[in-house]
């Protein structure tokens, strides 16, 4: 099955990687709790420095409208415009210190990224799609969810079933239907010194 957002890799990779994409248009179909639990179970098993698992996820679903609205309000306005239709919204936070040592964890954001990647792949395997968002209002989120010091609201994500992009405003619809592209490996894979291509 083909889709305009499916990636076309230069080298063979798992289909879950090429079929993962970030929709703006979401169906109103609810996501089963069992599926959501499996998505966050996948996050739970992501690698992290010292097995710290520094991530904390706050989840809001449309069957709890007040909670969904509260989390939606923590997104920047441009994200609210389309994310309001997603049946599931998630605020992703990181703990900034190692629990075992009390020292700063400089790779907490990296580890959250690994957990979020697991969520994306597990979602794709279930016919769901996830849209990661950097556009949040951290101070608003901290107050709305009573997030303690030492925990940083970092990113958000929407989860659900992709819908017809015809429902979107023109500019967003263009983004939704434009094929995904990636830099060539020659730009990101170096050896010997920075800028010197490998292979």
The second-level CATH assignment, the architecture, of 22-162 is: 3-Layer(aba) Sandwich (3.40)
Q: Nearest Cα to 141, choosing from 95, 76, 87?
A: 76
* HEC per residue, 84-101: CCCCEEEEEEEECECCCC
Task: Give the pLDDT score at 19.
Answer: 95
Cβ contacts of 163 within 8 Å, gap of 6 or more: 23, 25, 26, 27, 28, 85
What are the residues facing 131 on neighbouring strands? 158
The reported pLDDT for the residue numbered 3 is 85
> Is-contact 134 28, C-beta < 8 A?
no
Task: Measure CA of the first residue to CA of the last residue in the chain; give whole Å.
Answer: 32
Give the per-residue pLDDT at 1: 56
pLDDT at 2: 74
The whole-model pTM stands at: 0.95
Q: List beta partners, residue 193.
A: 191
What is the 3 state secondary structure string of 121-149? HHHHHCCCEEEEECCECHHHHHHHCCCCC
In eight-state DSSP terms, residue 55 is E
Each residue's pLDDT, cut to its tens digit, for the chain (199 residues) gives 578 899 999 999 999 999 999 999 999 999 999 999 999 999 999 999 999 999 999 999 999 999 999 999 999 999 999 999 999 999 999 999 999 989 999 999 999 999 999 999 999 999 999 999 999 999 999 999 999 999 999 999 999 999 988 888 888 888 888 899 999 999 999 999 999 999 7
- Nearest to 157, CA basis, from 97, 94, 95, 71: 71
Q: Which two tokens stand for residue 143?
A: 């107050």
Q: How far is CA 122 from CA 37, 107, 125, in A?
A: 11, 23, 5
Q: Residue ranges of the domains in the chain?
A: 22-162
């Amino acid at each position: 099955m083909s889709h305009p957002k499916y990636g076309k890799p230069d080298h063979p990779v798992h289909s879950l990687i090429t079929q993962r994409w970030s929709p703006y248009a979401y169906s109103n179909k609810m996501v089963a709790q069992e599926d959501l639990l499996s998505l966050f179970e996948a996050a739970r098993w992501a690698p992290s420095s010292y097995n710290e698992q520094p991530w904390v996820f706050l989840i809001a679903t449309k069957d709890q409208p007040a909670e969904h609205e509260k989390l939606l309000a923590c997104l920047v306005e441009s994200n609210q415009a389309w994310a309001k239709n997603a049946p599931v919204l998630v605020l992703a936070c990181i703990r900034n210190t190692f629990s075992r040592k009390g020292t700063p964890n400089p790779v907490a954001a990296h580890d959250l990224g690994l957990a979020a990647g697991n969520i994306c792949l597990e979602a794709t395997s279930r016919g769901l799609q996830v849209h990661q968002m950097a556009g949040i209002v951290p101070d608003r989120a901290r107050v709305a969810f009573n997030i303690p010091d030492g925990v940083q609201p970092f990113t958000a994500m929407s989860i659900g079933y992709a819908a017809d992009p015809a429902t979107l405003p023109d500019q967003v619809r263009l983004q939704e239907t434009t094929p995904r592209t990636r830099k060539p490996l020659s730009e990101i894979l170096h050896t010997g010194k920075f800028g010197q291509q490998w292979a």
